């Protein structure tokens, strides 16, 4: 796994290990989920890895990294479908450096509309410059290459 220990206390590591101050919506051995403290949409949840992985750039084409991101997405989808079933538009993705606010892998799960509407700007892809990457696009980038024998 791309996990590493953070030299300084990471706020998301603290939540993952001791959620007394943050009500969790989901918790398992790989991820925890909770409401974003500065919601940008009708519903805005974060799904974070329990292990400290700084950013999406630390993920590689490995089965374990792919499996983790797929699990994060599944958890986020389930939460929003339970909590906002009437919504007809969801977004799931990650901020890429240098635009990520916390250096700990976290999936933004958004049930739209954005509130206020201008907040959509934070969730735009900036192509090669980074910005926001949709979870499905990240999964394509880190999908392990299948081994073929000649």
Contact present, 104 and 134 (Cβ < 8 Å): no
Q: DSSP characters for 28-75? A: -SSEEEEE-SS--EEEEEEEEESS----GGG--S-HHHHHHHHHHHHH
Q: Which residues are catalytic?
A: 108
Q: Which two tokens stand for residue 25?
A: 């919506």
| Cβ neighbour number for residue 53 with a 10 Å cutoff | 23
CA-to-CA distance for 26 and 44, rounded, in angstroms? 14
């Amino acid at each position: 796994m791309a996990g590493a220990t953070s030299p300084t206390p990471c706020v998301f590591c603290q939540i993952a290990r001791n959620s007394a101050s943050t009500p969790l919506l989901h918790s398992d051995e790989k991820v925890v989920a909770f409401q974003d403290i500065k919601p940008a949409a009708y519903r805005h949840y974060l799904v974070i890895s329990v292990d400290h992985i700084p950013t999406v750039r630390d993920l590689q084409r490995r089965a374990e990294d792919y499996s983790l991101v797929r699990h994060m997405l599944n958890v986020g989808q389930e939460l929003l479908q339970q909590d906002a079933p009437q919504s007809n538009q969801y977004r799931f993705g990650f901020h890429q450096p240098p635009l990520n606010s916390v250096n700990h892998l976290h999936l933004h799960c958004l049930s739209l509309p954005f509130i206020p509407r201008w907040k959509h700007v934070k969730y735009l892809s900036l192509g090669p410059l980074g910005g926001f990457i949709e979870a499905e696009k990240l999964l394509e980038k880190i999908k392990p290459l299948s081994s073929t024998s000649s």
